[in-house]
Amino acid sequence: QCYRDLALVSRDGMNIVLSKINHILMEKYLKLQDTCRTQLVWLLRELVKSGVLGADGVCMTFMKQIAGGDVTAKNIWLAESVLEILTEQREWVLKSSLLIAMAVYTYLRLIVDHHGTAQLQALRQKEVDFCISLLRERFMDCFMIGRDLVRLLQNVARIPEFEQLWKDIIHNPQVLSAQFTGVLQLLQSRTSRKFLACRLTPDMETKLLFMTSRVRFGQQKRYQDWFQRQYLATPDSQSLRCDLIRYICGVVHPSNEVLSSDILPRWAIIGWLLTTCTSNVAASNAKLALFYDWLFFNPEKDSIMNI
Amino acid sequence: MSAASDTFLLIRDIKPGLKNLNVIFIVLEIGRVTKTKDGHEVRSCKVADKTGSITISVWDEIGGLIQPGDIIRLTKGYASLWKGCLTLYTGRGGELHKIGEFCMVYSEVPNFSEPNSEHVGQNKL
């Protein structure tokens, strides 16, 4: 009822509502109570159903709140709820290339975390079906992700549907799209910062950015301990290290001023992330994540700050 | 002596006997709980700002709620000597209010709560 009134009264295409929602999500999501979160998801669904321009942006902001390496009930609930909207409103999703790419990047990454219990396994299957269908139907939109798409696909390559997809990628790329010439084409394409950043929640970004811009080298121990205690304390959370490392390589590019100061250097943070990893698989994925841009560096298209 | 009620004091400027203190600090460590004779729980916490660190004694539930990394604003606190060490307290009418977490630069040294020969002979609790 309220929504209908809101829609009738709005004269700016709901812009104020959208920016308010984005603001709440980015700044306050962690503090919201469950009922509020449920309401927000409901609101998102209504916005999507009405085809409000900008609802895809809110969708992406929502996806950003799904924390990697976190299989607690609330986080899983969010992953499920957003996926439900995306699956239900598929036609709408297909209208936005960026949303397709972001959704695939998000859920391909989350698949890695969802295993072990029946509930997680069920969620994983939905995520697999969702990603596979977008990858096969709109490959070139997903191509936009760039080389990190290969990294993500490698991490799920043992799942049968992806195993099949890999066979096509390697042996028969044209099946996916006439414009797709093969893996090399994808590896040569740099992944935009917006994808690398989308897998960190606003709070993770705030803290990492604080560490790389304000904390002096030698003073970082407590901050590292606090960050670790909050986000990297469980066995499931080790997968987050890859996302953090990709973020530091690709998004955090300190100015010359910061580089020449005694502020905590990027290599020190990465060293910390690698040496405190408690899972071998995650560690080797993380090391690969570190070298990804270096392996395919092209001086004309890539930034030296990525390596 | 009391400090102006709407300005914030830096930890290095805290001296025994000051009252009505407003300080902003980040929590570095929460100490073990001890029980007082009248049944209260007390924790000694190490907190810091950019000028140094100090110990604050926190009573009862609040002590159980604060976490390392919390950025807290103390209002109407006071400072005193406890066993020769400068210590910060909330006191009656004082308040601890969490205003953020993580994003505050601090210096752990000097630790102003270390036993200090200057304080020997002054009023002790």
Taking CA atoms, A176 is separated from A103, A136, A170, A204, A250, in Å, by: 18, 6, 11, 35, 28
Angle of the A97-111 helix axis to the A118-137 helix axis, nearest 10: 140
Scanning every residue of chain A, which has its alpha carbon at the shortest distance from the alpha carbon of B103? A210
Query: What would the pLDDT profile of A8-44 be if each residue is shown by its tens digit?
Result: 777 777 888 888 888 888 888 888 888 899 999 999 9
CA A17 to mean position of chain CA atoms: 24
Q: Cis ω on the peptide bond leading into residue A299 (within 30° of 0)?
A: no
Q: What is the pTM of this model?
A: 0.90
Contact A210 B28 (CB under 8 A): no
A221 touches chain B (CB under 8 A): no
B110 inside 8 A of chain A by CB: no
Angle CA(A103)–CA(A243)–CA(A74) in degrees, nearest 5?
A: 65
Can you read off the two tokens belonging to residue A168? 């096509």
Q: Which CATH superfamily is domain B15-101 in?
A: Nucleic acid-binding proteins (2.40.50.140)
The pLDDT value recorded for residue A1 is 73
Q: Does A136 reach chain B within 8 Å, measured CB to CB? A: no
Q: Which amino acid is at A215?
A: V
Contact B103 A214 (CB under 8 A): yes
Q: Which of B69, B103, B105 is opposite residue A206, by nearest beta carbon?
A: B103
Chain B hits for A216, CB-CB cut-off 8 Å, are 105
Q: Is A193 on the interface with B (CB under 8 A)?
A: no
| Whether B69 contacts chain A with CB within 8 A | yes
Q: Where are the domains of chain B?
A: 15-101
Q: How close A30 comes to chain B (CA, Å)?
A: 13
ipTM of this complex prediction, to 2 decimal places = 0.88
What span, in angstroms and rounded, lies between the C-alpha atoms of A60 and A259? Answer: 32
For residue range A243-272, list pLDDT tens digits in order: 999 999 889 999 999 999 999 999 999 999
Q: What is the pLDDT of residue B124?
A: 45
Which region, left, alpha or beta, applies to residue A67 given φ > 0 means left and ψ of -120 to 50 means alpha?
beta
pLDDT at site A108: 97
Average pLDDT over chain A reads 91
Q: What is the pLDDT of residue B91?
A: 81
- Closest approach of chain B CAs to the CA of A258, in angstroms? 16
**pLDDT per residue as tens, chain B (125 positions):** 444 556 899 999 999 999 999 999 999 999 988 888 888 899 999 999 999 999 999 988 888 899 999 999 999 999 999 889 999 999 888 999 999 999 999 999 999 998 876 655 554 44
Show residues of chain A in contact with B105, CB under 8 Å. Answer: 214-216, 219
Give the residues of chain A that fall short of pLDDT 50.
Answer: none
Alpha-carbon gap, residue A106 to A104, rounded angstroms = 5
pLDDT of the residue at A99: 97
User: Per-domain residue ranges for chain A?
Assistant: 1-137, 200-306
B68 touches chain A (CB under 8 A): yes
User: Is A226 an interface residue toward B (CB < 8 Å)?
Assistant: yes
What is the phi/psi pair of residue B67, to 5°?
-125, 150
Using a CB-CB cut-off of 8 Å, the residues of chain A touching B28 are 222
Mutation site for A-interface testing, chosen from B66, B102, B109 by largest number of A Cβ within 10 Å = B102
pLDDT of residue A209: 96
